[in-house]
Amino acid sequence: MTDHALLLVNLGSPASTSVADVRSYLNQFLMDPYVIDLPWPVRRLLVSLILIKRPEQSAHAYASIWWDEGSPLVVLSRRLQQAMTREWTKGPVELAMRYGEPSIETVLTRLAAQGIKQVTLAPLYPQFADSTVTTVIEEAKRVVKAKKLSMQFSIVQPFYDQAEYLDALVASARPHLEQDYDHLLLSFHGLPERHLHKLDPTGNHCFKNADCCQNASTQVLATCYRAQCLRTAQSFAERMGLPEGKWSVAFQSRLGRAKWIEPYTEARLDALAKDGVKKILVMCPAFVADCIETLEEIGDRGREQFIEAGGEELVLVPCLNDNPEWAAALNTICERAPLAL
């Protein structure tokens, strides 16, 4: 055991399914300027309006998928943390959440008190987005500065195209894809299109033509969430030997009226059912742990919608969670994280 800690960071969850806890969580999440990238007064007004009805609706959704041990996302992330303690030999393995508890500030402060001088920071997001990866890094920077912590950081880069991640996806999904099914839908979390435009380093590439992501340069690809999602999907399909037409990509979890990345998962489920697809498998490769977006949005509401549209069966393929193959893959990915901060 050495003094080089591994800090896994996932999104977070309300402390409970109570409306008050869900409201507090949503307020912290939605007020993050990397999530809703509007000026503070506009963001505060918008979030206040959202918090009128959304907490009660979300509390009901959380309650429908909540486990005896707590939030599925937190429980599964804890299990991954435990699995990683058998892989990471440089020091302690800790878990933090960007929103809710345990917070990045709480965990980094505790590590500093233990004399830890080096931390590998691992945002558990395969594809890059400001609203996921950047906000984790910036929060770590804020804590280090505010607390005057003396730490060196290595930061795990988005691993959407890393062989270890893709092989773990294949190992996790193969038992499901060996069964009979009509279509595989790879449903990634969505983002407002403006988030992609803002991060386009050329200023004139994103959405200029239908093939913009397929033709993205290395410079554009580094920060283009949609292009990275499509690369993940294509690489996975090639590894699985899936023929064209047997699989497709969509984007879920749209919030508000702004235009988000298309096609939307809801629309795709309807269209596939109307095209005669009876049994559909859905994978969510933007999430490494099952959560409300997979279990409730896809596993419950998505299934109900698909059947109402004429489909017969929707099977949600579990996320990587704490699979041994994933723990080993993540360890390899973390081992090569470059120094930063």
pLDDT in tens, 206-248: 887 878 888 888 888 899 999 999 999 999 999 999 999 999 9
Q: Per mean pLDDT, which range of 11-20, 254-263, 270-279, 284-293 is the poorest?
A: 254-263
Q: What is the pLDDT of residue 151?
A: 94
Q: Per mean pLDDT, which range of 48-52, 143-147, 196-200 is the poorest?
A: 196-200
User: 301-317: per-residue pLDDT in tens?
Assistant: 999 999 999 999 999 99
Residues of the chain with CATH 3.40.50.1400: 4-159+324-340, 163-316
* Residue of 65, 90, 132, 69 whose CA lies nearest to 6: 90
Mean pLDDT of 38-65: 97
Query: 340 burial class (0-12, 13-18, 19+ CB within 10 angstroms)?
Result: middle
Q: What is the pLDDT of residue 171?
A: 97
CA distance 330 to 109: 24
Q: Mean pLDDT of all residues in the chain?
A: 96
For the cut 60, the answer to whether the pLDDT of residue 141 exceeds it is: yes
Peptide bond into 41 cis (omega under 30): no
Question: What is the chain's Cα-based Rg?
Answer: 20
Q: What is the pLDDT of residue 341?
A: 67
Structural domain 163-316, CATH architecture? 3-Layer(aba) Sandwich (3.40)
Six-digit token string for 316: 């949600």
Query: 62 burial class (0-12, 13-18, 19+ CB within 10 angstroms)?
Result: buried
CA distance 4 to 88: 10
CA distance 213 to 191: 15
User: 149-162: per-residue pLDDT in tens?
Assistant: 999 999 999 999 99
CA distance 132 to 39: 19
Q: Is 293 annotated as a binding residue?
A: yes
Q: Per mean pLDDT, which range of 8-17, 156-165, 203-212 is the poorest?
A: 203-212
The yes or no reply on domain 4-159+324-340 and CATH 3.30.450.20 is: no
Give the pLDDT band of residue 51 (cuts 50, 70, 90).
very high
The reported pTM is 0.96
CA distance 22 to 253: 17
For the cut 90, the answer to whether the pLDDT of residue 99 exceeds it is: yes
Q: What is the pLDDT of residue 1?
A: 53
